[in-house]
Structure 1
């Protein structure tokens, strides 16, 4: 049996993992400190923001992850601990130190994540007391609480559990994430944590995670702003006791497929929860000359504010889509491009061979009234494809971000 079972909305912690989420007072009301703990040291991989301005926890984790293992992750929301100087870095270290003391584990195996307002010192007295409470509340049922505690402007909890079989052993993989605004390709303002009891080598885990992150989180956009705190981490503790998964094997392919599903679901949930978003947009580039061209074009479209506002206004302005492909850096012949719009209401071609064709504007409007819309661009240049996900840009986005600190 190799069937992959996906349980969207579920956060079932794999064997050997405990988690918690509590309210420490960093935010005004909601949970704001989360703790994830593996009862044994786990193999680990991570991907971080490409922003040159990196938050203190990111700088700390980038160094610690080099050895490829970790045992705990502590996360706070409500304060990004970014642009906080040497004190901010000391605070991140002290968060990890507190966890190591409470759980009696190696401090170097504790990773730290923060999300929230930039440029404000952490209220460390509250944070440290919160970590104590989080450690006391660790449980096998604590995944939902941890997922809730990492949220900022998110409007719903984002989680998924996958189950699959490796040589007769049931393997569980669970992921949860936060992200709503400041979302841009090459990681978003997002935190993502994937936990699995799979037994897999460090190199195989690293390859699978970084490749699937590139295909999922790095293909989403809400507003084009890149965060200082983006972090995606995976821990694999081997407690499923399957035969060790190596690169280049059938078992690796099963693991890879499950991980790609988990990351893709979380990435799409982040976009669907985009600040002020009213519509979800999937962009498919087909028949591109290379995979790189397809991905460049897809990302350019979902990141275009003019495309986003046209989608919000339910305007079939295909010229904005073609223009976004034009400045994407992709190699293509504009005189061959066809563009289609699709939703539950139907599908319509709005551009043929890079130019105007007559189309039913009323039908196009009906298609764009739906909450989920697919844009397909046929480049007629090769056999490669790429997909990206984005959302519209609404009046509410301005309202939310105009008063973010208040």
Structure 2
């Protein structure tokens, strides 16, 4: 029998009625003759509610106890979904991350999966059961519960699909596929029917929230097709797989954005290049994603980080005081990035991006570029205008794409 992994996000399982509807989707796959492994997130805003409880107790919780608490959200969902499946006469069993054999490193709160022992899952599949696994979590070698960070259920699903050599991994969410930009901010965004692993990973790394970049990495490594589709509508969705060459005249695959970014500038660096290398190694060892830019003036290093990582990054920099003279920090910022098509950014895109933003009176704080993207840092209040004008300027609006395809 072929094996299918299905993943349902928090919105998809946000109520008992929705859990029943997702049980119907699971059973449909089972009736088609597939072995089915399901990965679920916590219901709706459960994780946010748990975090709020912590804030009522302490402003400095230990990472171990945070992971112990946050892992309970998915445990509720796996039990309810298993019951909903069983209610319709289909055998099912629920597993927490550690019961499913998911072992991680010891970076609590943002752990990486190191290995998966699939023997227990395979045994239950052989017994004719649907296996429902808690996403977002695993266990360390020391026996501590660990969580994989925001969007971690995507990672669990893709990693399980790889370990089980599944035929595909279906990611059910509240949108019906991957778009050229976030449709909540850019109403004229176009759905992308097919994407390569490389282009999807580039979009995800630079802020496209529909899929976690580490999930794409797992799928790409083992050649597992990913299908992004709506939990609430029947539609084609977006297929992510190998060797997809995006057609069209534009050199751009999409516009991504991230809100609530902090910019930290280390001023007076005597060895900018050496400090940059050392800082990037330290951040990577803690699984902190950051953009690090050397600025035009010789002694300045600029760091862009998410709000959730701010305190940890500041503690790292505090230990490196001898590397710079002073720090300046800005909050309330956003990143808007233009992502190059087919793994590369055309040299003219940076110039064109600046022209478009200037024409639309978007005030730019920093512009940085990499091999795959050009990023502008702007105020939170201007992020929608910036994303919309760049989307239009690079010919990605729905109407433009439709005309080009005729």
Length-normalised TM-score, structure 2: 0.29
Length-normalised TM-score, structure 1: 0.29
Report 1 or 2 for greater relative contact order, CA contacts < 8 Å, sequence distance ≥ 6: 1
